C-alpha cells in the first residue's frame, strides 16, 4: 500500500463522505424556504444534485437559521458533504462552531451508520491533517471546536494532539493558547456557537499533563496561575 500524507488521507475521507451521501445528495429533493432571502433560482439549485450547488449558496445554507427552511434537517443532511468539504478547505467563511451546532440541530447522530461513520472519518482525518500543517487552511482552535462540539467530546482529539509531536502541532498549540488565555477565560471556556460544550476544566487538566517543552514558559505560567488560583 502506498504511504499517504495526512492531507491525502483527508481527501480520501472527503471522497468517501461524498460516496456515503450520494444516494441522498444526488437525488432530486424539493426545497422550500424563505423567499425573501432566497430566490426561486436558489431554491431550484438546492433542489438539484448537491454537487452542482454554487459555493456561495452552500456557505449561506451552512450558516442559515433553521427556521428559514421548510425541512431544515433534510436539507442540511443532503448538503453535508459540500459544507464539510468547503469547511475543511478553509473556504467556508463562517464560524466553525456554527457548523457543529447546525449538524447537531440536523440530528446527525440519527443518520444512517454509513453517513455517521463517513463524517467521523473526515473529522479524524481533518484533525490529523491540521496538526501536521502550519499555518494550514484554518486555525486549529476552529477545527477543534467543530469536531469536539459535533461529537460531544474533547478527549479523543486532545489525546491525538498530545501524541502528535510535530513542529506544526506545537505551533498550533501556542496559537490556540493565545486565544484561550485572553481575559483569563480558559477556566470557564465553552465551545460551540451556542456554548454547547464545557471545555475549560478538561483543557486545563490536559495542558498541565503535556510533556515539558510543549508549552512556552510564559504561557505555561498563565495556565498554572489559572489552574491553581
Domain boundaries, the chain: 6-228
pLDDT at residue 172 in the model: 97
Backbone CA torsion sign across 120, 174, 181, 206: positive
pLDDT, tens only, 13-23: 999 999 999 99
Q: What is the rounded average pLDDT of the residues 30-36?
A: 93
For the chain, the average pLDDT equals 94
pLDDT at residue 22 in the model: 95
Asked whether residue 1 carries a pLDDT value surpassing 60, the answer given is: no
Cβ atoms within 10 Å of 206's Cβ, excluding its own:
17
Instruction: Using alpha carbons, select from 39, 51, 54 the residue that is nearest to residue 80.
Output: 51
pLDDT band (50, 70, 90) for residue 77: very high
pLDDT at residue 3 in the model: 63
Q: What is the rounded average pLDDT of the residues 103-123?
A: 98
pLDDT at residue 193 in the model: 93
Q: How far apart are CA 223 and CA 96, in angstroms?
A: 25
Q: Which residue has the higher pLDDT, 136 or 112?
A: 112
Q: What is the rounded average pLDDT of the residues 201-213?
A: 95
pLDDT, tens only, 129-146: 999 999 888 889 999 999
Amino acid at each position: 500500500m502506498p504511504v499517504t500524507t495526512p492531507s491525502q488521507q483527508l481527501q480520501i475521507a472527503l471522497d468517501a463522505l461524498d460516496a456515503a451521501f450520494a444516494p441522498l445528495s444526488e437525488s432530486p429533493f424539493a426545497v422550500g424556504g424563505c423567499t425573501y432571502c432566497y430566490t426561486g433560482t436558489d431554491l431550484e439549485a438546492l433542489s438539484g444534485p448537491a454537487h452542482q450547488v454554487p459555493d456561495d449558496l452552500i456557505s449561506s445554507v451552512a450558516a442559515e437559521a433553521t427556521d428559514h427552511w421548510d425541512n431544515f434537517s433534510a436539507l442540511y443532511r443532503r448538503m453535508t458533504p459540500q459544507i464539510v468539504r468547503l469547511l475543511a478547505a478553509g473556504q467556508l467563511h463562517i464560524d466553525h462552531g456554527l457548523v457543529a451546532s447546525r449538524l447537531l440541530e440536523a440530528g446527525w447522530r440519527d443518520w444512517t451508520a454509513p453517513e455517521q461513520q463517513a463524517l467521523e472519518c473526515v473529522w479524524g482525518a481533518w484533525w490529523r491533517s491540521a496538526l501536521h500543517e502550519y499555518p494550514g487552511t484554518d486555525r486549529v482552535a476552529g477545527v477543534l471546536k467543530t469536531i469536539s462540539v459535533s461529537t460531544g467530546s474533547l478527549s479523543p482529539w486532545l489525546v491525538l494532539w498530545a501524541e502528535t509531536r510535530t513542529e506544526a502541532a506545537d505551533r498550533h498549540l501556542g496559537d490556540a493558547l493565545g486565544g484561550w488565555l485572553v481575559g483569563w477565560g480558559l477556566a470557564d471556556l465553552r465551545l460551540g456557537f451556542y456554548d454547547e460544550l464545557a471545555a475549560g476544566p478538561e483543557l486545563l487538566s490536559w495542558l498541565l499533563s503535556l510533556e515539558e517543552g510543549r508549552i512556552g514558559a510564559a504561557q505555561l505560567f498563565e495556565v498554572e496561575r489559572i489552574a491553581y488560583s
